[in-house]
Amino acid sequence: MSTMVAAPARTGGMTNDERFVILASSLGTVFEWYDFYLYGSLAPIIGAQFFSAYPPGTRDIFALLAFAAGFLVRPFGAIVFGRIGDIVGRKYTFLVTIMIMGLSTFIVGLLPNAATIGFAAPVILIALRLAQGLALGGEYGGAATYVAEHAPQGKRGYYTSFIQTTATLGLFLSLLVILFTRTAIGEADFAAWGWRVPFLVSVVLLGLSVWIRLRLNESPVFQKMKDEGKSSKAPLTEAFANWSNGKIVLLALLGGTMGQGVVWYTGQFYALFFLQSILKVDGYTANLLIAWSLLFGTGFFIVFGALSDKIGRKPIILSGCLIAALTFFPIFRLITTNANPALEKAIEAGKVVVVADPALCGDLFNPVGTRVFTAPCDTARAFLASSSVKYTTSYGPAGSGVKVMVNDKEVPYADAKAGNPAIAAAVAAAGYPKAGDAGIVKMSNPFDIFRPQVAAIIGLLFILVIFVTMVYGPIAAMLVELFPTKIRYTSMSLPYHIGNGWFGGLLPATAFAIVASTGDIYAGLWYPIIFASITAVVGFLFLPETKDVDIRSN
């Protein structure tokens, strides 16, 4: 780890050069996150366009997995571009990454769907997602390192917190463009072709980002090290094959970015998915609710980043993980209470049981969406899960058929392919709502936020965003301070992108698979709760505090 010193913080505000460094780095990163998160925001529509050969439930999982594919390769992008960044330099590396990201996003907007070119469409789509993930794996570490190496001692948390806003601002920008396009052309045209517009717009953002970044100079800390001939010739070996540095990489993951990643994706992406796919809130309203919570909460990235310069990185990050783990269940239950009160009442008052021979009931856990359920026990439970019905499984005698009991009344079972009209009617009679029902929250326009139902949901989502800002605001400064200059880009990028790309990026698909497997709409929350709790414990016991580290001394 870098050397601990008692260097005084520089007095006065930012210089003009420092403002430009932060602005240029942050704007470029906003646009890159915008490109990356467009897909996540439009996953249901993209699923219908590119995975139309599959049933709706499987289609949703495939769409989420294509989204997750970009996260899976992020650590590999971190290794490839981290090495380049530590050998060649920070500036040119994140110029390359933004070009790859921008062009991949633009091509998605032009890509014909499955109805036009068949199986090639999802294959090309996933390839483009992989390219985006590789680029993002190299982008974040470069931008965070570049800003931190320009920041004065004692203000790195504050300076790098502007970079930390970029992921949320990129998501917010993508939601705004989507909402504007939806409003301008209507839902039908948006689903048919208008979803391409936000992807195509990215070419303008790409041009602006490249122009801004071309005006930047190399990081002074890196340039000084390179001029002195002290740069690493083998950053991968020094970063990961050397246990003294490798153990810090491991601690940064388990005691920092793992919990931060699951809290981030629960508070923003899983919340959006929960609203749409489980609570049956329409896409327009769900995106607006998330957008307003982001608007109110984004400034707290800077608040907690600056606060970490005074009280330390660890107390804020680990408190965010712990508080989130303790409160996710009540917050999501309150979201259900306000967004779809009929569903909450049905879950509390209704009793749905699938009774079958245990030999005929398999495991419904299906995060990769490739399993095809044929046994009546499994198809019945899968149908109930897709309808957000809370159910339990009771095992009957060997050789018995499948019975679905709704409030102790047996309902005739039909094949899932037939739509289960009898079961659908029975759960509707038991109070379970369907998409479009009057009691489900619906916003008539972007400023329809003062009704108690809407305001309450935005308030709850805002609390989730506060957790995000606590864990994410100080993390860049902490990661930069953990590692020496010559292998900083490589060392910090890998734990960041494993924590966010794997633990966080796989969260929506895995949590939804847990919900479908258990029949409990809240069961997916165990995923972030467990990993956030592990990070709180490991970080408290083993992770060093870094706020007083002088990164210029090595």
Kindly report the CATH number assigned to the domain that includes residue 360.
3.40.30
| More reliable by pLDDT, 174 or 401 | 174
| pLDDT over threshold 90, residue 343 | yes
- Is residue 213 located within the same domain as residue 151? yes
Q: Give domain status of residue 437, yes or no.
A: no
pLDDT at position 60 is: 62
Q: Phi/psi at 394 (nearest 5 deg)?
A: -120, 135
- Residue 7 vs residue 61, higher pLDDT: 61
Mean pLDDT of the 236-249 span: 86
Residues 211, 120 within the same domain: yes
Beta strands in 351-418 (DSSP E): 352-356, 392-395, 403-406, 409-411
> In angstroms, rounded to a whole number, what is the distance separating the alpha carbons of residues 72 and 327?
28
Structure tokens at 533: 């709790």
The domain tally of the chain equals: 2
Higher pLDDT, 154 or 254: 254
The pLDDT assigned to 6 comes to 39
| Domain of residue 367, residue span | 345-429
pLDDT band at 7 (very low <50, low <70, confident <90, very high): very low
393 and 459 fall within a common domain: no
Is 329:480 a contact under the CB 8 Å cutoff?
Answer: no
Phi-psi region of 399 (alpha: psi -120 to 50; beta: other; left: phi over 0): left
Q: How many helices (H) and strands (E) does the chain have?
A: 26, 6
Q: Domain end: 396, 429, 462, which one?
A: 429
Which of 429, 458, 487 delimits the end of a domain? 429
Residues 350 and 456 in one domain: no
Are both 213 and 362 inside the same structural domain?
Answer: no
What is the CATH number for 38?
Answer: 1.20.1250.20
| Structural domain contains residue 256 | yes
Q: d(Cα 252, Cα 538) in Å, to the nearest integer?
A: 10
pLDDT category at 215 given cuts 50, 70, 90 is: confident
Report, as an integer, the average pLDDT of 502-507. Answer: 84
The whole-number average pLDDT for the span 170-193 is: 87
**What is the pLDDT of the chain when averaged over all its residues?**
85
Over the range 282-313, which residues count as b (16 or more CB within 10 Å of their CB) and which as e? bbbbbbbbbbbbbbebbebbbbbbbbbbeebb
317 in a domain, yes or no? yes
Q: Helix, strand, coil: what percent of the chain each, to 5?
A: 70, 5, 25
Query: Model-level pTM?
Result: 0.85
Residue ending a domain, among 386, 403, 429, is 429
pLDDT at 460 over 90: yes
Q: Residue 76 is which amino acid? A: F
pLDDT at 13: 61
Nearest to residue 258, comparing CAs of 550, 527, 551?
A: 527
The whole-number pLDDT of residue 249 equals 93
Contact between 472 and 167 under an 8 Å Cβ cutoff? The reply is yes
| Residues 211 and 117 reside in one and the same domain | yes
pLDDT for 58 equals: 60
Same domain for 447 and 407, yes or no, is no
Classify residue 8: in a domain, yes or no: no
Phi, psi at 4, each rounded to 5°: -85, 130
The Cα–Cα gap between 378 and 383 comes to: 9
- Pair (124, 197) in one structural domain: yes
Q: 189 and 162: one domain? A: yes
- Does residue 399 form part of some domain? yes
Mean pLDDT of 413-434: 79
Residue 471, pLDDT > 90, answer: yes
Write down the pLDDT at residue 2. 45
* Nearest residue to 162 via CA among 303, 317, 260, 267: 303
388 and 321 fall within a common domain: no
Residue that has been written with the tokens 């936020």 in this structure: 449
From residue 341, give the alpha-carbon distance in Å to each of 104, 335, 346, 348, 440.
Answer: 41, 9, 9, 11, 7
Query: What is the pLDDT, as a whole number, of residue 334?
Result: 97
Residue 26 lies in a domain: yes
- Which ranges of 312-443 would DSSP assign to H, the alpha helix? 313-339, 341-349, 376-386, 421-429
Give the per-residue pLDDT at 68: 67
Check whether residue 408 and residue 455 sit in a common domain. no
Tokens for 461?
A: 């989502």
* Residue 69 pLDDT grade (very low, low, confident, very high; cuts 50, 70, 90): confident
